[in-house]
């Protein structure tokens, strides 16, 4: 009797224990998107938890500039979260090769993505995937539509029209023509060089030629964007040399600047800050009628920490990322981050809709130096930050900038030697 009672009690205890554990699976998500914290906590997480009651999510973002190094240290120390937001290309590939990200090739949800979308998180031969593609960002120029109307300006299509518009704004004098600074350097490279460049090097064609070693950074098509950047400095605000990225955002949203060289990720922030109408135009082409190319950069994916104790729950969550429910939720909650899954998405925000519509009119490309070319030391992507900022500041000529980057690349990249 007593023995049976004890067994029963023990079984009951074990059962309750497993039930408790099943309820207790909490997946911690590592991310650099601290801007999205309220969207995750208020919209995405409740939607997921309602569908999968056994799994709880905890969104734990770090500051963007520290994310990569913080994540690497945490993975090495075994303290990283279960779900890892993946930077595109090499940073995540290195994690996968170290065995720190789980192989997701067999994940059911992977069927929802195109090969282009998956390319940023595949091994070089494309045989294995390690992150679920989540979002891309598109570059262009956001402008103050009220200011354009006031000055009677139209969206420029060619480079000449673009500078004519800038001249007109400068002449009027009530607005700073363009809001950009070079203090943080990456704006100059990302919103400057990588934004306007694809029109010169014909998008993927030029990017692939560079990877294959058939084109050099000293070639005209890679120096020409620098020449345009050098002309920009006349239209930036006073003291742009020490103007930081948040300064530029504030200048624009306060209505003091007319044009903002942008990435689509700005849309959400600008919507809440600016009280004027905004429009957007893609980077201007050289001659009217040229094919336009845009930087439609795979930016964010999500992977599974290989050391996480909750592999099954993690896979359940990653599968859900491929659903059209998540795609719609995410695209509308974070306008400007465009989902990469094949699910149909309708965007409520007209500005975001404008950006995504360029996918139909122009050829998409990704940022020039993110795939393969930034593997060595010196790091080409980081070099381009410095050179782009130097060119705008006037510390370097466009030719010197191209030569410096080419020399750095050739020092370690065989196809360029």
Partner 1 sequence: MSDRAQKRPFRWHIVVFLAPAVLIYTAIMIIPLFGTLNLSLFARAEDGTRVFVGLQNFRTLFGDDRWSDAFWNATGNNLWFFVIHMLVQNPIGIALAAILSTPKLRFAAFYRTAIFIPAILSFVIVGFVWKLILSPLWGVAPTFMDALGLGDWFAPWLGLERSALTTLALISVWQFVGIPMMLMYAALLSIPDEVLEAAEMDGITGASQFWKIKLPLLLPTIGIISILTFVGNFNAFDLIYVTQGALAGPNFTTDILGSYLFRTFFGFQLQLGDPNMGATVATVMFAIILVGVSIYLFGVQTRLRRYQF
Quick one: CA dihedral 113, 115, 120, 121, positive or negative?
positive
C-beta of 63 vs 111, nearer to partner 1 = 63
Q: Which of 199, 188, 104 is nearest to 159 (CA)?
A: 199
Q: What are phi and psi of 311, to 5 degrees?
A: -60, -45
The one segment of 165-173, 222-230, 358-366, 388-396 that binds partner 1 by CB under 8 A: 388-396
Binding of residue 378 to partner 1 (CB under 8 A): yes
Considering only residues 408, 409, 413, 416, which one is a binding residue for partner 1 as defined by CB under 8 A? 408
Residue from 251, 313, 340, 409 binding partner 1 (CB under 8 A) = 251
Query: Per CB under 8 A, does 332 bind partner 1?
Result: no
CA 156 from chain center: how many Å?
25
One character per residue 53-92, x = contact with partner 1 (rule: CB under 8 A): ------------x--xx--xx-------------x-xxx-
Residues 300-329, one symbol each (x = binds partner 1 by CB under 8 A, - = not), give ------------------------------
C-beta of 211: minimal distance to partner 1 in Å?
Answer: 15
Q: Is 103 in the site for partner 1 (CB under 8 A)?
A: no
| Total residues in contact with partner 1, by rule CB under 8 A | 46
Handedness of CA 15, 16, 21, 23 (dihedral sign): positive
Give min distance, CB of 381 to partner 1, in A: 4
User: CA-based Rg of the chain, rounded to a whole angstrom?
Assistant: 24
Q: Does 400 bind partner 1 (CB under 8 A)?
A: no
Q: Which SS3 state, helix, strand or coil, does residue 142 take?
A: strand
Chosen residue from 395, 397, 403, 410 binding partner 1 by CB under 8 A: 395
User: Least Å distance between CB 17 and partner 1?
Assistant: 38
**3-state DSSP percent of the chain in helix, strand and coil, to 5:** 50, 15, 30
Torsion of CA 386, 389, 395, 396, to 10 degrees: 70
296 lies in the binding site for partner 1 (CB under 8 A): no
Whether the Cβ atoms of residue 264 and residue 138 lie closer than 8 Å to each other: yes
CA distance 338 to 416: 34
- Least separation in angstroms between residue 251's CB and partner 1 is 7
Binding residues among 170-199 for partner 1 as defined by CB under 8 A: 181-186
Tokens 């957007």 appear where?
280
CA distance 20 to 23: 5
Residues 190-249 contacting partner 1, CB under 8 A: 237-244, 247
Closest by Cα among 298, 314, 318 to 306: 314
Instruction: Tell which residue, 380, 416, 387, 382, has the closest CA to residue 401.
Output: 387
Interface residues with partner 1 (CB under 8 A) are 65, 68-69, 72-73, 87, 89-91, 94, 97-98, 181-186, 237-244, 247, 250-251, 369-370, 374, 377-379, 381-382, 385-386, 389-390, 393, 395-396, 408, 411
């Amino acid at each position: 009797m007593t023995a049976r009672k004890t067994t029963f009690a023990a079984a009951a205890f074990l059962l309750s224990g497993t039930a408790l554990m099943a309820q207790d699976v909490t997946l911690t998500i590592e991310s650099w998107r601290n801007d999205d914290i309220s969207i995750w906590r208020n919209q995405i997480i409740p939607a997921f938890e309602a569908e999968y009651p056994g799994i709880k999510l905890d969104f734990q973002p770090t500051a963007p500039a520290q994310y990569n190094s913080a994540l690497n240290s945490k993975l090495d120390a075994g303290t990283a979260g279960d779900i890892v937001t993946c930077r595109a290309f090499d940073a995540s590939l290195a994690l996968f090769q170290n065995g720190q990200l789980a192989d997701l090739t067999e994940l059911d949800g992977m069927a929802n993505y195109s090969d282009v979308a998956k390319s940023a998180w595949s091994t070089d031969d494309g045989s294995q995937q390690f992150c679920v593609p989540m979002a891309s960002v598109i570059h262009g120029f956001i402008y103050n539509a009220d200011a354009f109307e006031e000055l009677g300006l139209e969206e420029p299509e060619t480079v000449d029209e673009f500078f004519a518009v800038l001249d007109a704004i400068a002449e009027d004098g009530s607005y700073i023509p363009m809001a950009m600074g070079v203090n943080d350097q990456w704006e100059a490279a990302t919103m400057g060089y990588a934004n306007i460049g694809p029109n010169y090097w014909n998008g993927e064609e030029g990017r692939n030629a560079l990877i294959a070693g058939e084109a050099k950074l000293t070639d005209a098509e890679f120096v020409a964007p620098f020449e345009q950047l050098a002309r920009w400095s006349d239209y930036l605000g006073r003291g742009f040399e020490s103007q930081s990225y948040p300064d530029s955002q504030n200048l624009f949203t306060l209505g003091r600047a007319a044009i903002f060289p942008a990435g689509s990720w700005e849309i959400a922030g600008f919507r809440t800050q600016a009280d004027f109408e905004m429009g957007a135009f893609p980077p201007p082409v050289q001659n009217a009628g040229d094919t336009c190319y845009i930087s439609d950069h795979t930016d964010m994916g999500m992977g599974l920490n290989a050391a996480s104790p909750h592999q099954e729950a993690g896979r359940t969550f990653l599968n859900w990322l491929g659903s059209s429910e998540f795609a719609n939720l995410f695209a509308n909650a974070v306008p400007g981050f465009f989902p990469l899954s094949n699910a149909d998405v309708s965007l409520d925000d007209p500005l975001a809709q404008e950006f995504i519509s360029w996918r139909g009119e122009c050829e998409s490309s990704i940022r020039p130096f993110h795939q393969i070319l930034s593997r060595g030391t010196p790091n080409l992507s980081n070099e381009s930050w410095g050179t782009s900022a130097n060119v705008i500041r006037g510390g370097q000529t466009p030719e010197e900038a191209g030569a410096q980057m080419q020399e750095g690349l050739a020092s370690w990249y065989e196809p360029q030697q």
